[in-house]
């Protein structure tokens, strides 16, 4: 079955990037000239997703405004003959069918995904974490969808990360079964170092089957007293098995101060309006470091 629906959980508190995220959702923090969540919506659309549910909470109305028309701004751009920018804004408002749902309590990523049960119905769907931007030639979620079609199992986007990150993310039991794919048979959320199964962690993307909702319903609260999506996916990994895709793009963690800086520098070095100036600036700056 073609995957047409995606969920973007964007209801976290973003405590690691305070005070920036106090009144501005971290998913709206910019990378050069676009908010993080726009890169994520664009990735989904490029992969053939037509319906997107963004999970929000209080104070995240700016996300809705961003993907809506801004008549005043559009009229002004038209009057001034700024046709390119006008087109860009129009495209943004017409990119996909975007729906919003509030997570009333911040009870974890698993709980945010569970809110999407009715939207998803009885078909496989994609999850793109709202603070994980992945930049690459091929949309990362398209690589996962391709693996779902090839292996017929739920899929997670994975990368090898150093020990100090494994303990903050999760650790997977994997066995290579293709060029960029792995069979995943177990996983553990925020393991202690002695519990780690490998250095492969899930980073920001998955393709799941609707059975996950029933599992989430009965999964007890886990690390941080939150409902962890990894805890529910573990059951799928251990019973049916899952596929891990070592996706080809570069992932930027927008929930982390250094991740935000890296994203801006690297995207800025490729952006037609900033690349030359930024390159010169960095070269000069590096001499003084």
CA-to-CA distance for 265 and 256, rounded, in angstroms? 15
- By C-beta, is 263 or 278 nearer to ligand UTP? 263
Q: Which of 3, 5, 14, 114 binds ligand UTP (CB under 6 A)?
A: 14
Per CB under 6 A, which region of 92-100, 104-112, 149-157, 211-219 contacts ligand UTP? Answer: 104-112
Given candidates 130, 139, 157, 191, which one binds ligand UTP under the rule CB under 6 A? 130
In the chain, alpha helices (H):
36-46, 61-66, 71-79, 83-93, 109-114, 117-120, 140-151, 163-166, 211-217, 229-239, 257-268, 275-288
Stretch that binds ligand UTP, among 38-46, 109-117, 171-179, 240-248 (CB under 6 A): 109-117
Answer yes or no whether residue 13 interacts with ligand UTP by CB under 6 A.
Answer: yes
> Residue 99: beta bridge partners?
53
Beta-carbon contacts of 147 under 8 Å, excluding residues fewer than 6 positions away, are 155, 181, 207, 243, 245
Residues that contact ligand UTP, how many (by CB under 6 A): 20
Site for ligand UTP contains 111 (CB under 6 A): yes
What's the min distance (Å) between Cβ of 3 and ligand UTP?
20
List, in order, residues 6 or more apart from 111 with CB less than 8 Å away. 103, 105, 216, 226, 227
With respect to ligand UTP, which residue has the nearer C-beta, 110 or 139? Answer: 110
Taking the C-alpha atoms of residue 237 and residue 142, their distance in angstroms, rounded to an integer, is 21
Q: Does 15 bind ligand UTP (CB under 6 A)?
A: yes
Interface contacts to ligand UTP, rule CB under 6 A: 9-16, 55, 103, 106-109, 111-112, 129-131, 255
């Amino acid at each position: 079955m073609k995957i047409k629906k995606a969920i973007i959980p964007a209801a976290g508190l973003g405590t690691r990037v305070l005070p920036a995220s106090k009144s501005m959702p971290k998913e709206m923090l910019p990378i050069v000239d676009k908010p993080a969540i726009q890169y994520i919506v664009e990735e989904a659309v490029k992969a053939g997703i037509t319906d997107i549910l963004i999970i929000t909470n209080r104070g995240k109305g700016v996300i809705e405004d961003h993907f809506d028309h801004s008549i005043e701004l559009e009229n002004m751009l038209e009057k001034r003959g700024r046709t390119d920018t006008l087109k860009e804004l129009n495209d943004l408002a017409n990119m996909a069918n975007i729906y919003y749902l509030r997570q009333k309590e911040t009870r974890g990523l698993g709980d945010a995904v569970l809110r999407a049960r009715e939207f998803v119905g009885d078909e496989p769907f994609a999850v793109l974490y709202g603070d994980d931007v992945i930049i690459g030639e091929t949309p990362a979620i398209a690589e996962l969808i391709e693996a779902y079609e090839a292996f017929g199992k739920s899929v997670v986007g994975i990368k090898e990360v150093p020990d100090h990150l494994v303990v903050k993310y999760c650790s997977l039991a994997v066995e290579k079964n293709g060029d960029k794919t792995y069979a995943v048979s177990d996983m553990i959320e925020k393991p202690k170092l002695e519990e780690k199964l490998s250095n492969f962690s899930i980073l920001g993307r998955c393709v799941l089957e609707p059975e996950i909702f029933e599992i989430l319903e009965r999964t007890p609260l886990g690390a941080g007293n939150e409902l962890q999506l990894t805890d529910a996916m573990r059951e799928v990994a251990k019973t049916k098995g899952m596929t891990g895709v070592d996706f080809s793009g570069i992932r930027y963690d927008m929930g982390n101060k250094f991740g935000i800086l890296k994203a801006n520098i690297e995207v800025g070095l490729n952006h037609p309006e900033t690349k030359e100036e930024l390159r010169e600036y960095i070269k000069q700056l590096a001499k003084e470091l």
